[in-house]
Amino acid sequence: MMMVMADQRHGEGEMEHSKKPFFFTSFNPFLFVLIFLPSLVLVSLVCKLDLEIPWTTGLDKVFSSFAPHLLDPAALDLKGHSFSSPIEGSQTTVPESKERKGKDATPGISRVEKYSMLEKIEEKLGRARAAIREAGRVRNLTSVHDDPDYVPRGPIYRNPNAFHRSYLEMERLLKIYIYKEGEPPMFHEGPCKSIYSTEGRFIHEMEKGNSYTTNDPDQALLYFLPFSVVNLVQYLYEPNSHDVNAIGVAVQDYINVISNKHLFWNRSLGADHFMLSCHDWGPRTTSYVPYLFNNSIRVLCNANVSEGFHPSKDASFPEIHLRTGEIDGLLGGLSPSRRPILAFFAGRLHGHIRYLLLQKWKEKDNDVVVYDELPSGVSYESMLKKSRFCLCPSGYEVASPRVVEAIYAECVPVLISESYVPPFSDVLNWNSFGVQIEVKDIGNIKEILRGISQSQYLRMQRRVKQVQRHFVINGTPKRYDAFHMILHSIWLRRLNVHIQD
């Protein structure tokens, strides 16, 4: 049943508000060579285009219930998850004070021989943790670190100084090794357009190589498993079969190859490895490899805590719907005083939350403007740009591309979801620039939003503009943009574990 629903969601790309055919609709092995390969070439090119995006820079109650608070000084005292050699496959939790420190060398053995590369890496990470924790004690909402590009400040951050310090430590230390095994397009490539664009964008950005990648796996503190669930589905899934098995088995085989050929997987039982997926089936795919599911860092759009998403280990991946592959024209909107619509939503009936929303509000109110299909001649983007609040209900899975669409259009996002962890909520204080409405309160949307005073609204809208830079995708990534924020989410989770040989 779930698979049927997820399968239908393949249509989401075009169903919402554009009439363009979705990136892929059905798989035919004969058409594949004719149609598919050329389109992949195109997609690859799109990924490599350097889009110069003009910058338009610029909820503690409910949101925080799932947020990991990694940047709260207390929480950064690491959980002390310790991963050692897999003799029993057991993970023990040790207090941080018992972590191996550089000083307790065995007499008679020189330091150089005693400490492995891994121990050196862990020692550097230990110092980074201490520095971030220390920075977290400065709590006056301003960073004290110099930065030529941007200084995080203000209530959009849980702790701006800790975030800034963590970001700078990441720039100094983060090294990622990308496994070379696997053939494109299922490995090393992904979609750079469509609702799943973040998956392909990230894979391409990594494969290109950058200051965070290394070709020496011994130098790495993280290992990337570069498979694309979207492309696996595209090539291995028999349409309408509702059988996800082939995809899971492909990932299982891949991890087998990796763990037989390299030492790193067994060393940490996968804890310093990460995968990412924007596809609804990302979580299901990882469930075929228990260590991947339970130990590895999974970066998922479908960040549903009711389906095993673990906020302190896994990272929420922003879903960014790039219809053309570009974000030109999406950024910016009217000033608050020129936004006549209180709240806006357009989208089809997908899942029970949207059912409740459409049933209550569809074409019934002048303030809460809700459509399942936009009237012809009405532009979706222009509606976002002239609404004060943009409704972002979950569909068949928890994430909604509307959250980032709203942020791009400088419209205050209203999340209507259950069990969803919004992206970067370890760093960002979603309550300061967004509203969360519980599903049971869908009937009260108008009262709730009207209850937000004008001055409070103006503050939130200003913060949406400030937080926008963290969600922007640049052709060539820029510091603090979506690409770097995703890396930072992964970095934080790596900081949270201690690996031993």
Ligand X SMILES: *[C@@H]1O[C@H](CO)[C@@H](O)[C@H](O)[C@H]1NC(C)=O
Residues contributing to the site for ligand X (CB under 6 A): 138, 140, 142, 144, 259-260, 263, 266, 287, 290, 293-294, 304, 306-307, 351, 394, 396-398, 419
Closer residue to ligand X in complex, CB, 167/264: 264
Q: How far apart are CA 38 and CA 164, in angstroms?
A: 43
Helix (H) or strand (E) holding 83: strand 81-83
Closer residue to ligand X in complex, CB, 394/474: 394
Contact 424, 68 (CB under 8 A): no
Q: How many other C-beta atoms are found inside a 10 Å radius of the C-beta of residue 257?
A: 13
**Phi-psi label, residue 49: left if phi above 0, alpha if psi -120 to 50, beta otherwise:** beta
Tokens of 62: 């409910």
Shortest distance in whole angstroms from residue 339 CB to ligand X? 28
Closer residue to ligand X in complex, CB, 232/409: 232
Shortest distance in whole angstroms from residue 33 CB to ligand X? 35
Q: How far apart are CA 122 and CA 144, in angstroms?
A: 26
Tokens of 3: 């698979």
Shortest distance in whole angstroms from residue 5 CB to ligand X? 8
Q: 11: which residues sit within 8 A by CB, 6+ positions away?
A: 22
Q: How far apart are CA 173 and CA 364, in angstroms?
A: 54
Closer residue to ligand X in complex, CB, 387/436: 436
Closer residue to ligand X in complex, CB, 64/266: 266
Helix (H) or strand (E) holding 214: strand 213-214
Peptide linkage before 185 cis (omega within 30 of 0): yes
Shortest distance in whole angstroms from residue 415 CB to ligand X? 12
**Phi-psi label, residue 28: left if phi above 0, alpha if psi -120 to 50, beta otherwise:** beta
DSSP label of 231: H
Nearest to 389 by CA among 374, 369, 360: 369
Shortest distance in whole angstroms from residue 167 CB to ligand X? 18
Closer residue to ligand X in complex, CB, 178/303: 303
Shortest distance in whole angstroms from residue 263 CB to ligand X? 5
Closer residue to ligand X in complex, CB, 290/443: 290
Nearest to 347 by CA among 416, 433, 439: 416
CA angle, 458 then 464 then 470, to 5°: 160
Residue with tokens 């709730």: 448
Shortest distance in whole angstroms from residue 144 CB to ligand X? 5
SS3 annotation, 46-57: HHHCCCCCCCCC
Closer residue to ligand X in complex, CB, 268/304: 304
Residue number with the shortest CB distance to ligand X? 290
Shortest distance in whole angstroms from residue 292 CB to ligand X? 8
Shortest distance in whole angstroms from residue 304 CB to ligand X? 4
Closer residue to ligand X in complex, CB, 259/461: 259
